[in-house]
Amino acid sequence: METKRFQIYKCPVCDTVVEILHQWSMELVCCGPAMVPLRAKTRRQDGWADHAPSVQKVPGGCRVAIGDSPHPMTKSHRIEWVELVADGRSHRQFLCPSQPTEVVFTVKSATATVRVYCTVHGLWQSTIRRIPVSASSPKFGQTRMACS
């Protein structure tokens, strides 16, 4: 199997998630069976409203907010990370339980692709071709905290 850079794979046994950084022709194995490539869900899938990443320009960068209402952020069900890809660079923020589902990236691009990983509902993705300028204050409160 040919892997591709930035593909996300998950182990069907232990739920370990990995990302491909170097393209290669081999099968990824974790606990025995092959790891499964995750296909990012988009606005056509059920659950989009709870995981939809919205992006707005704010002073100093781009703010990404997840969902129409705050997504659960418990230990077992949470947004584990948010990735913003812009101008050929990947920016990722890991989130801890109880953290707000909003991240500010110091990115000034006009376009971006955002990926969000929910520990229960998987990978979600949205491509924003023209990032709007924020007209209001943050939806759920800003965070730049690092997850330990």
Residue nearest to Fe ion (CB): 118
Shortest approach of Fe ion to residue 93 CB, angstroms?
17
39 within 8 A of 22, measured Cβ to Cβ? no
HSE-CB at 7 with a 13 A cutoff on CA atoms is 17
DSSP 14: T
With binding defined as CB under 5 A, does residue 103 bind Fe ion?
no
Q: Within 10 Å of residue 13's Cβ, how many Cβ atoms?
A: 11
Is residue 121 a contact point for Fe ion (CB under 5 A)? yes
The residue within the footprint of Fe ion, chosen from 95, 103, 118, 128 (CB under 5 A), is 118
Q: Which residues contact 60 (CB under 8 A, 6 or more apart)?
A: 104, 106
Least Å distance between CB 67 and Fe ion? 8
Q: Can you read off the two tokens belonging to residue 131? A: 């990032």
Name the segment binding Fe ion (CB under 5 A); options: 9-17, 31-39, 97-105, 110-118.
110-118
In the complex, what is the shortest distance from the CB of residue 47 to Fe ion, in angstroms, rounded to a whole number? 7
Min CB(39)–Fe ion separation in Å: 16
Q: Whose Cβ is closer to Fe ion: residue 120's or residue 145's?
A: 120
Cα separation of 76 and 103, whole Å? Answer: 20
Residue 66 makes contact with Fe ion by CB under 5 A:
no
Three-class secondary structure of residue 48 per DSSP? helix
Name the site residues for Fe ion (rule: CB under 5 A): 118, 120-121
